[in-house]
Structure 1
Protein backbone atom coordinates (compact mmCIF):
# COMPACT_ATOMS: atom_id res chain seq x y z
CA UNK A 1 0.00 0.00 0.00
CA UNK A 2 1.28 3.47 -0.88
CA UNK A 3 1.79 6.05 1.80
CA UNK A 4 -0.61 8.99 1.86
CA UNK A 5 1.90 11.55 3.13
CA UNK A 6 4.80 12.28 0.83
CA UNK A 7 6.61 15.27 2.31
CA UNK A 8 7.83 17.96 -0.05
CA UNK A 9 9.26 21.27 1.10
CA UNK A 10 8.22 22.90 -2.16
CA UNK A 11 4.53 22.11 -1.72
CA UNK A 12 4.69 22.99 1.98
CA UNK A 13 6.07 26.44 1.20
CA UNK A 14 3.40 27.07 -1.40
CA UNK A 15 0.65 26.50 1.18
CA UNK A 16 2.22 27.65 4.47
CA UNK A 17 4.80 30.15 3.24
CA UNK A 18 4.96 33.86 3.97
CA UNK A 19 3.73 34.97 0.56
CA UNK A 20 0.71 32.69 0.71
CA UNK A 21 -0.14 33.95 4.20
CA UNK A 22 0.03 37.55 3.01
CA UNK A 23 -2.51 36.91 0.25
CA UNK A 24 -5.45 36.38 2.60
CA UNK A 25 -6.89 38.33 5.49
CA UNK A 26 -6.81 35.30 7.79
CA UNK A 27 -3.20 34.62 6.89
CA UNK A 28 -2.22 38.17 7.77
CA UNK A 29 -3.97 37.71 11.11
CA UNK A 30 -1.91 34.56 11.69
CA UNK A 31 1.33 36.43 10.94
CA UNK A 32 0.40 39.32 13.24
CA UNK A 33 -0.57 36.93 16.03
CA UNK A 34 2.79 35.19 15.72
CA UNK A 35 4.57 38.56 15.73
CA UNK A 36 2.67 39.63 18.87
CA UNK A 37 3.56 36.38 20.55
CA UNK A 38 7.22 36.94 19.75
CA UNK A 39 7.76 33.92 17.55
CA UNK A 40 11.23 33.68 16.06
CA UNK A 41 9.77 32.36 12.79
CA UNK A 42 6.44 33.83 11.71
CA UNK A 43 6.15 31.65 8.60
CA UNK A 44 8.14 29.00 6.82
CA UNK A 45 11.36 30.59 5.66
CA UNK A 46 11.34 31.02 1.91
CA UNK A 47 14.06 28.92 0.31
CA UNK A 48 16.28 30.25 -2.43
CA UNK A 49 15.70 28.92 -5.92
CA UNK A 50 16.94 25.36 -6.17
CA UNK A 51 17.41 24.96 -2.41
CA UNK A 52 14.47 22.79 -1.41
CA UNK A 53 16.54 20.26 0.56
Structure 2
Protein backbone atom coordinates (compact mmCIF):
# COMPACT_ATOMS: atom_id res chain seq x y z
CA UNK A 1 0.00 0.00 0.00
CA UNK A 2 1.25 3.48 -0.88
CA UNK A 3 -0.10 5.03 2.31
CA UNK A 4 2.64 6.05 4.79
CA UNK A 5 3.78 3.15 6.97
CA UNK A 6 1.09 0.77 5.68
CA UNK A 7 2.22 -2.76 4.90
CA UNK A 8 -1.17 -4.21 3.88
CA UNK A 9 -1.53 -6.00 0.55
CA UNK A 10 -2.89 -4.00 -2.38
CA UNK A 11 -6.61 -4.12 -3.19
CA UNK A 12 -5.79 -5.26 -6.70
CA UNK A 13 -2.41 -6.16 -8.12
CA UNK A 14 -3.36 -4.69 -11.51
CA UNK A 15 -2.57 -1.03 -11.00
CA UNK A 16 -3.99 -0.34 -7.55
CA UNK A 17 -1.70 1.51 -5.17
CA UNK A 18 -3.75 1.23 -1.97
CA UNK A 19 -4.93 -1.58 0.31
CA UNK A 20 -8.65 -2.21 0.88
CA UNK A 21 -8.77 -0.01 4.01
CA UNK A 22 -7.03 2.98 2.46
CA UNK A 23 -8.89 2.54 -0.82
CA UNK A 24 -12.17 3.11 1.05
CA UNK A 25 -10.72 6.01 3.07
CA UNK A 26 -8.92 7.73 0.19
CA UNK A 27 -10.51 6.31 -2.94
CA UNK A 28 -11.66 9.67 -4.32
CA UNK A 29 -8.62 11.63 -3.13
CA UNK A 30 -5.71 12.81 -5.29
CA UNK A 31 -2.76 10.44 -4.93
CA UNK A 32 -0.12 13.19 -5.00
CA UNK A 33 1.63 13.24 -1.61
CA UNK A 34 0.06 15.67 0.90
CA UNK A 35 -2.79 16.66 -1.44
CA UNK A 36 -6.32 16.44 -0.04
CA UNK A 37 -8.17 17.46 -3.21
CA UNK A 38 -10.66 15.17 -4.91
CA UNK A 39 -9.52 13.31 -8.02
CA UNK A 40 -10.73 14.19 -11.48
CA UNK A 41 -13.12 11.42 -12.48
CA UNK A 42 -11.37 8.36 -14.01
CA UNK A 43 -7.90 9.71 -13.10
CA UNK A 44 -5.58 9.38 -10.11
CA UNK A 45 -4.94 13.09 -9.48
CA UNK A 46 -6.86 16.31 -8.88
CA UNK A 47 -7.14 19.08 -11.49
CA UNK A 48 -4.16 20.91 -9.98
CA UNK A 49 -1.86 17.88 -10.25
CA UNK A 50 -2.93 16.41 -13.62
CA UNK A 51 0.18 17.66 -15.43
CA UNK A 52 2.50 16.39 -12.69
CA UNK A 53 0.84 12.97 -12.61
CA UNK A 54 1.25 12.43 -16.36
CA UNK A 55 5.01 13.19 -16.47
TM-score normalized by the length of structure 2: 0.23
Higher helix share: 1
